[in-house]
Amino acid sequence: MKRLLPAVVLLITIALSAQELKSPSEFLGYELGTRFTRHHRVVDYYQYLSEAAKDRMQLHEYGKTYEQRPLLLAYISSAANMQNLETIREEHLKSTSSMSKSTKVIVWLSYNVHGNESVSTEASMQTIYELLTNKQAYLENTVVIIDPCINPDGRDRYVNWYNQFKNTPIQLNPESKEHNEGWWSGRSNHYMFDLNRDWAWLTQLESQQRLRYYNKWLPHIHVDFHEQSMDSPYYFAPASEPFHEVITDFQRDFQVTMGKNHAKYFDANGWFYFTKERFDLFYPSYGDTYPTYSGAIGMTYEQGGGGRAGLGVITGNGDTLTLKDRIVHHYTTGISTVEVAASNVTKLNEEFQKFYQPKNYKYKSYILKGPEDHLRALTQLLDQHQLSYSYGTDTNVKGFNYKTGKAGSLRTNSESLIISTNQTRGTLVKVLFEPNARLSDSLTYDITAWSLPYAYGLDAIASESLVSKTSKKEDLSKKEVLSTNTYAFLTDWNGMDDARFLAELLQKKIRVRQAQKAFTLEGNRYESGSLIITKADNDGRKNFTKILSEAAEKHHKSLTAVSSGFVDEGKDFGSSFVLMIPSVKVAVLGGEPTSTLRFGEIWHFFEQQLHYPITVLDENTINGVDLSNYEVLILPGGTGYERFMDTLMLSRLKEWVGQGGRLIVMGKAIASLDGEDGFDISAREEEKDSTENLVQPYENLQREEIKNDITGAIFKTKVDATHPLAFGYKDAYFSLKLSSDSYDYLESGTVAYISKDTLPIAGFAGSEAQKKMAKSLVFGVEKHGKGQVVYMVDNPLFRGFWENGKLFFVNAIFMAK
């Protein structure tokens, strides 16, 4: 717990009684809703409240954002409850093992996860003020936890932008600049990640720090406050189908109870709203679903407005929507939520306990085997979710085999990871690990498949019985002291730890070679892609073995020292099949042609995952840049390439590639290279639908259209594992396909591809879209002059969670020519 307030202010405020609490307007010096409040002022107000009402409120800084803004949680309840806050928490958590006598209900309200949905944080201030004053009665049996701003970096980006560009007085015309943010909006966090897609994957600092406290409390109710397009009426629970099958009847019913209470206030005021549409409960990484799968009533509330509405705007209906209107709506549902919670304490406690009773799910154990890095990355995620796991014994396990999609078996040993649904949070285990989540309706808001064994590239069995296990894995790691009298050090290449190890060595000017073919030496087999670090290559490098052993320890690598480069089978170290890995200078295109999300994934990957420098070339400046300064240029996916990729740009890129550059082109950027003057890639047109000539009822239109869609489904692809782009992979790769865009195989260099079998292994793909996938490219390399173009039709960096795809991207950057 961190006190933020200077002592002087404390002395002034300590004298204030509860009745004299300042409202947000009084404290800030302007009427709430007449300006946007910058984050540091919001922090000031919460600090003020925590001192002025210290008997009923505690403020806790739970972390900092990438841009060093504080992240806050405000705990409020009656004075009596606040004295026993820790006891209340502990008693509540006992509910997860059915021993609780808790008589309190925990409500968690999260504001402004999307930074430019800027009403939320303003509304949070009014809500906490009312709860501490006029609505105190609700706090007798309720603990309310308020996160005033999940995404302060994004919110301040919006607020600062708005303040710079707003008209005086404000311009209600939506065409004015103040209503049009442009490419880098405040929606996302620093790295342009959507934090409302990150609850399960925890790739971002904000999510990682928040979840630590969320999981300490596991509230009965969680609300995520949002905004949608400015013409939309308010949305609140109940949510729309599809609902994940683990959601209980009570959770469904209580969403209705909640919605009806909100509707009472909205009806009385004549405000418009809708329920049961658009916002479903399926993809597990949202601020409504993750809490739901953790036993809460998890809900999204959406006000109309968002980044376009500013302080006031004329909507499509010709009405004027003001920030004050937006505040009062979010305030109303916030208070109404606490009201419903406070009047259902017994029921909420009973049902929360029921949620955590053993569920006897079909699959009792998930058994996973694979490279150590992949398993380590997965256990780190499990730790963050407080999911327990153990290791296997020497036995054969039968069940559903993820690789074949059929019944099969797997030999387990002490290296195999075992995750059971017979644990407190077994429901979350089921949701994250089951092979294919049952979809009650294919019209959904997001991806329909995410099964972690595929995402982490592991051999896996889902078993219907409890598998025997040991609790502790033998710790085989030992610090290695590397001898200086060695010919070379060898190590494998199959995961992100290897990639980070390489990235660090290259930056420390250690020269590293890569075996282009498998070899055996001194009794060990090394697959193609293995790293070879010879003494001769690094002869002049001071502290060579020290740097090497420190990097190895840091990245969990074990190095094998060999005394000769004369291999038993394969190619000797001096062969042209053992190539030096280039220390490349990498640039990525940013700006309008790209999607902020796709750009952000790359930016984050380099800085926070690989730890390798990257230069951002903006579309506005790239024309003046000498591309020969870079060995690798990445074009992230995006929909603005048609304008960007004119004849001049295309010929420039062709010339640069011809002279030895490597262009990595991803997703929707690829189509811009197709064409007579372009590269060899060839996009496929949409197949003519045989039913297209039939008259379709208008009401079926949306359902008809999804026949052409893939919104996120897992496909099994074939891999040419001999190609350097596929080093570290075997002959199959499970790819998360995010669109029905499809491209023909390349003449040569087709590395990962779909052949004839186009049925997704998990998730939804429309019937027409599936046909289009036959014989299509997933990853490939086209040679052009001295350089190459790497095509990545699917996005291995999508939301940063598809761990097993990342090495393809690393290979694309570093593979030797």
CB of 695 to Zn ion, least distance (A): 37
CB of 237 to Zn ion, least distance (A): 15
CB of 159 to Zn ion, least distance (A): 16
CB of 200 to Zn ion, least distance (A): 17
Examine residue 330 and tell whether it contacts Zn ion (CB under 5 A).
no
Q: Which is nearer to Zn ion, 110 or 448 (CB)?
A: 110
Of residues 241-300, those binding Zn ion (CB under 5 A): none
Of residues 705-744, those binding Zn ion (CB under 5 A): none
Q: How far apart are CA 718 and CA 217, in angstroms?
A: 44
Q: Which is nearer to Zn ion, 154 or 392 (CB)?
A: 154
Q: Which is nearer to Zn ion, 184 or 745 (CB)?
A: 184
CB of 114 to Zn ion, least distance (A): 4
CB burial class (10 A; 0-12, 13-18, 19+) of residue 620?
A: exposed
Q: How far apart are CA 494 and CA 817, in angstroms?
A: 20
Q: Residue 116 — left, alpha, or beta (φ > 0 → left; ψ -120 to 50 → alpha)?
A: alpha
The neighbouring-strand residues paired with 665 are 635, 791
Q: Which is nearer to Zn ion, 284 or 392 (CB)?
A: 284
CB of 48 to Zn ion, least distance (A): 28
CB of 233 to Zn ion, least distance (A): 16
Amino acid making up residue 403:
K
CB of 704 to Zn ion, least distance (A): 28
The residue ranges of DSSP E strands in 765-808, in sequence order, are: 776-784, 787-792
Helices (H), 722-805: 767-772
Quick check: bond before 169 cis, omega within 30? yes
Q: How far apart are CA 102 and CA 106, in angstroms?
A: 10
Q: Which is nearer to Zn ion, 226 or 737 (CB)?
A: 226
Q: Which residues lie below 8 Å from residue 549, measured CB to CB, with a gap of 6+?
A: 479, 480, 481, 482, 559
Segment (H or E) for 322: strand 320-322
236 closest CA partner among 106, 321, 329:
329
The tokens describing 95, both together, are 């509910």
Q: Which is nearer to Zn ion, 313 or 488 (CB)?
A: 313
- Measured at CB, which residue is nearest to Zn ion? 226
Residue owning tokens 């925590």? 50
Q: How far apart are CA 637 and CA 665, in angstroms?
A: 8
Q: Which is nearer to Zn ion, 280 or 498 (CB)?
A: 280
Angle at 334 between CA 333 and CA 340, to 5 degrees: 80
Of 101-109, 218-226, 395-403, 450-458, which segment contacts Zn ion by CB under 5 A?
218-226
The tokens describing 786, both together, are 């001295």
CB of 162 to Zn ion, least distance (A): 17
CB of 277 to Zn ion, least distance (A): 16
Q: Which string of DSSP letters, residue by residue, matches 250-284?
A: HHHHHHHHHHHHHHHHHHHHT--EE-SSS-EE-ST
Q: Which is nearer to Zn ion, 117 or 206 (CB)?
A: 117
Q: How far apart are CA 273 and CA 234, in angstroms?
A: 4
The tokens describing 700, both together, are 């079926």
Q: Which residues lie below 8 Å from residue 205, measured CB to CB, with a gap of 6+?
A: 63, 64, 65, 66
Of 208-216, 220-228, 514-522, 685-693, which segment contacts Zn ion by CB under 5 A?
220-228
CB of 196 to Zn ion, least distance (A): 6
Among 35, 226, 385, 662, binds Zn ion (CB under 5 A): 226
Q: How far apart are CA 525 and CA 508, in angstroms?
A: 28
User: HEC states along 396-431?
Assistant: EEEEEECCCCEEEEEEECCCCEEEECCCCCHHHHHH
CB of 227 to Zn ion, least distance (A): 6
DSSP reduced 3-state for 776: strand
Q: Which is nearer to Zn ion, 152 or 749 (CB)?
A: 152
Question: Are the beta carbons of 754 and 773 closer than 8 angstroms?
Answer: yes
Q: Which is nearer to Zn ion, 109 or 458 (CB)?
A: 109
CB of 187 to Zn ion, least distance (A): 7
Q: How far apart are CA 811 and CA 214, in angstroms?
A: 37
Q: Which is nearer to Zn ion, 226 or 723 (CB)?
A: 226
For the chain, state the CA radius of gyration: 28
Of 169-177, 224-232, 427-435, 467-475, which segment contacts Zn ion by CB under 5 A?
224-232
CB of 112 to Zn ion, least distance (A): 9
DSSP reduced 3-state for 528: coil
Q: Which is nearer to Zn ion, 313 or 547 (CB)?
A: 313
CB burial class (10 A; 0-12, 13-18, 19+) of residue 394?
A: exposed
Q: Which is nearer to Zn ion, 152 or 426 (CB)?
A: 152
Of residues 103-122, those binding Zn ion (CB under 5 A): 114, 117
CB of 637 to Zn ion, least distance (A): 21
Question: Are the beta carbons of 254 and 297 closer than 8 angstroms?
Answer: yes
CB of 746 to Zn ion, least distance (A): 39
Q: How far apart are CA 508 and CA 62, in angstroms?
A: 35
Segment (H or E) for 131: helix 119-132
Using CB under 5 A, count the residues that bind Zn ion.
Answer: 3
Q: Which is nearer to Zn ion, 190 or 226 (CB)?
A: 226
Question: Are the beta carbons of 531 and 491 closer than 8 angstroms?
Answer: yes
Q: Which is nearer to Zn ion, 186 or 259 (CB)?
A: 186
Of 69-77, 225-233, 469-477, 570-578, which segment contacts Zn ion by CB under 5 A?
225-233
Q: Which is nearer to Zn ion, 110 or 255 (CB)?
A: 110
The neighbouring-strand residues paired with 368 are 417, 460
Q: How far apart are CA 104 and CA 345, in angstroms?
A: 6
Q: How far apart are CA 199 and CA 196, in angstroms?
A: 7
Q: How far apart are CA 704 and CA 363, in angstroms?
A: 34
Quick check: bond before 24 cis, omega within 30? no
CB of 108 to Zn ion, least distance (A): 17
State whether the Cα torsion 586-590-595-597 is positive or negative: positive
Q: Which is nearer to Zn ion, 206 or 498 (CB)?
A: 206
Q: Which is nearer to Zn ion, 117 or 178 (CB)?
A: 117
Residues that bind Zn ion (CB under 5 A): 114, 117, 226
